[in-house]
Amino acid sequence: MRILTVGIILATLTLPAQAEVIKIPDQSGFSGFLSAGVKYAELASNTVAGNKSDKLSRDVITSLDAPDSKDTGGVSFNFDLRYTLAEHRTQFFLGTLIQDALRFDFSTQLGVRREFGDKGIVAASYLFSTFPAEVYADPFLTGSPRQKSELDSSGVRLSWEDIMGSGFAASISARDQDLDSELSGQSVGGLTAAERRSLDRNGDLTTIELSYNWVIAKGQLLTPAIIHRSYDLDGDSVSRDGTLLQLTYAYRTQNYSFLTNLLVGQYDYDAGNPVFGGQKGDSDELGISATFFLHRLADIESLTGYASVAYFDSDSDIDFYDQDANTASVGVIWRFN
């Protein structure tokens, strides 16, 4: 069973972004940003119930067909807090790093970065879910309200930015995905115990990424990336491997900035889904987002306003698993040094 990352739908719109590597400051002390805004999303998904701040309502479905769209809205808040030991070229951080937000990775990180001269910046961090997603314990239940289950993930991440001064960056993360209550297929008659186990969404997620920061002109940066994700879950029918390609373009001036993302990819599943006659849920993914930043908002040097829109579509061979979202967000960003 596929789970549309709520961060791709919503959090993309609330995080400020600059595509270049975040350099370690030459002075010790605190730095980072805080952002706050309002968001709107039109989401179609049979599996995602949202998160605790969302007001989605699709608890009852009448068939196992493609999902209907529902509206949701609310406030958003994000942060990135860092403390630098300049003499040791070391920086501790907590929050969602800007360059990760560009690549649709919205886990909160607690970790440390160390600069090794012209060899680049190496980082290690602990990943965890600040606002866990809510999914349906048994998404296949029809005609009655579906119980919600919290989806947590945690793990570790290692990265190397600006490798040997080349502009390349690489990272690997390993996480454990855990549902409070996993009841997939319990409402579907005729399934064996083994077939129900094949729908178990608990398990491990591994992500490997390689990217390159290309300065194409003054104030313009193009960042292509290739991402491989492997979901090694307890259920074979929901385990899958995917390769994603992402292209980020950033344009920055003294007064404003513009950033856009394009994400395309494909997931291949290990086994057929017993709820749908053994058919596999292989899918094609497409994500597009654009964000405009207005600097020196209200003539305040550290304040930036932003407006963002995004579109995400996941087209599965099984219509029940189709997912899409249209989103919009506005807000402000306060940076501090």
Taking the CA atoms of the chain, what radius of gyration do you get in angstroms? 21
The Cα diameter of the chain in Å comes to: 66
The pLDDT, as a whole number, for residue 337 is: 83
Q: CA distances (Å), 314 to each of 5, 60, 283, in order?
A: 11, 22, 6
Confidence of residue 89 (pLDDT cuts 50, 70, 90): very high
- 79 found inside a domain: yes
**Does residue 17 or residue 39 have the better pLDDT?**
39
CA 330 to CA 76: how far, in whole Å? 10
- What's CA 237's distance to the chain center, in Å? 23
- 131 found inside a domain: yes
CA 226 to CA 240: how far, in whole Å? 17
Cβ proximity of 299 and 288 under 8 Å: no
**Hey, what amino acid is at 332?**
V
Q: Which residues make beta-bridge pairs with 152?
A: 178
- 275 found inside a domain: yes
pLDDT tens-digit readout, 269-322 = 999 999 999 999 999 999 999 999 999 999 999 999 999 999 999 999 999 999
pLDDT above 70 as % of the chain = 88
- Determine which helix (DSSP H) or strand (DSSP E) holds 20, and give its type and residue range: none
Query: What tokens appear for 126 in the block?
Result: 């602990």
- Beta-carbon count within 10 A of 278 CB: 11
The pTM (predicted TM-score) of the whole model is 0.88
Q: Which residues make beta-bridge pairs with 294?
A: 256, 305
**Hey, what amino acid is at 319?**
D
DSSP 182: -
Confidence of residue 71 (pLDDT cuts 50, 70, 90): confident
Query: What tokens appear for 227 in the block?
Result: 């991402």
Query: What tokens appear for 152 in the block?
Result: 């947590």
**Tokens 């550290």, residue located:** 302
Confidence of residue 11 (pLDDT cuts 50, 70, 90): very low
pLDDT tens-digit readout, 198-216 = 999 999 999 999 999 999 9
The pLDDT, as a whole number, for residue 229 is: 94
Query: Under DSSP, is residue 119 helix (H, G, I), strand (E, B) or coil?
Result: helix
If you write DSSP's letter for every residue of 194-227 in order, what string do you get? HHHHTT---EEEEEEEEEE-EEEETTEEEEEEEE
Tell me the Ramachandran region of residue 29: left when phi exceeds 0, alpha when psi lies from -120 to 50, beta otherwise: left
Instruction: Give me the number of domains the chain comprises.
Output: 1
DSSP 255: S
Q: Is 175 exposed, middle or buried (0-12, 13-18, 19+ CB in 10 A)?
A: buried
pLDDT tens-digit readout, 186-197 = 999 999 999 999
- 121 found inside a domain: yes
Query: What tokens appear for 80 in the block?
Result: 């990135």
- 1 found inside a domain: no
Q: What share of the chain is helix, strand, coil (3-state, %, to 5)?
A: 10, 55, 35
Q: CA distances (Å), 28 to each of 25, 32, 93, 94, in order?
A: 7, 13, 13, 16
Q: CA distances (Å), 58 to each of 5, 61, 138, 147, in order?
A: 17, 7, 13, 11
Burial 2-11 (b: 16+ CB within 10 A, else e): bbbbbbbbbb
Range of the domain at 235: 6-336
Confidence of residue 51 (pLDDT cuts 50, 70, 90): low
The pLDDT, as a whole number, for residue 118 is: 92
pLDDT tens-digit readout, 96-136 = 755 444 444 457 899 999 999 999 999 999 998 877 778 89
pLDDT tens-digit readout, 229-261 = 999 999 999 999 999 999 999 999 999 999 999
CA 320 to CA 318: how far, in whole Å? 6
Q: Which CATH number do you get for residue 126? A: 2.40.160
Task: Please give the mean pLDDT across all residues of the chain.
Answer: 88
Query: Under DSSP, is residue 7 helix (H, G, I), strand (E, B) or coil?
Result: helix
- 35 found inside a domain: yes
